[in-house]
Amino acid sequence: MRRFAMLALFPLIACGCTQTTTTNPATPTTQVVAIEDDHDHDHDRGKKLVAHLGKHHVWLTAHLSSKSGHELDVFVEASNEAKAVALPLDKLRGKATKAGDPKEYELTFEPAPAGERPAGEAAGTCSHFVAKTPWLTPADVWTVIVEVELEGRNRKATWKNFTPKVFAHHEE
């Protein structure tokens, strides 16, 4: 009977949160790339790459356009639910480096147009930021670091091995 009870619990244990970070190279959309707390399990959100910052998830994705220029998008959400968190910030600053190249590219993320953000975000707050990146090469591997003030602390969201073509939510 005890053996049966353990077998019955195995799926629950196997699906729960663990204390180790795992990545699945075959599915790059589930890579966990930055962890500042014990929340270290994988999340799949289509074409976005996640960084964990305490009680928040910060997602990075690319918008690739040969017509209007390339952009990077950052989304901020509560980590315990997939709900946008509007921050009282008018911009986020960061940097990007391409693998094998020591040059740093400055990033300034500004609020996305109102139509691209959740309805009802209060004036002076934002949960979706966009940075113009005309220098971005879609097939290269990048490290992107963005500073975010959360819960009264400056935090750094870091995404390593970010390939814009892999994590592009839009391509034209």
Does 40 map to a domain?
A: yes
Domain contains 12: no
Q: DSSP assignment of 101-130, as one string?
A: ---EEEEEEEEPPGGGS-TTPPTT-BSEEE
Residues 6+ apart with CB under 8 A from 95: 104, 105, 106, 107, 144, 145
Q: Is residue 90 part of a domain?
A: yes
SS3 category, 145 = strand
Residue 121, in any domain of the structure:
yes
**Which residues lie closer than 8 Å to 169 by C-beta, 6 or more apart?**
46, 47, 48, 61, 62, 63, 73
CATH number at residue 164: 2.60.40.2480
Does a structural domain hold residue 160? yes
Tens digits of residue pLDDT in 91-101 = 999 999 999 99
Distance CA 94, CA 72 (A): 11
Could you give the number of structural domains in the chain? Answer: 1
The pLDDT tens digits for 116-127 are 999 999 999 999
**55-66 pLDDT per residue, tens:** 999 999 999 998
Question: Considering the domain boundaries, does residue 9 fall inside one?
Answer: no
Structural domain boundaries enclosing 59 = 29-171
Question: Is 104 part of a structural domain of the chain?
Answer: yes
* Residue 17 lies inside a defined structural domain of this protein: no
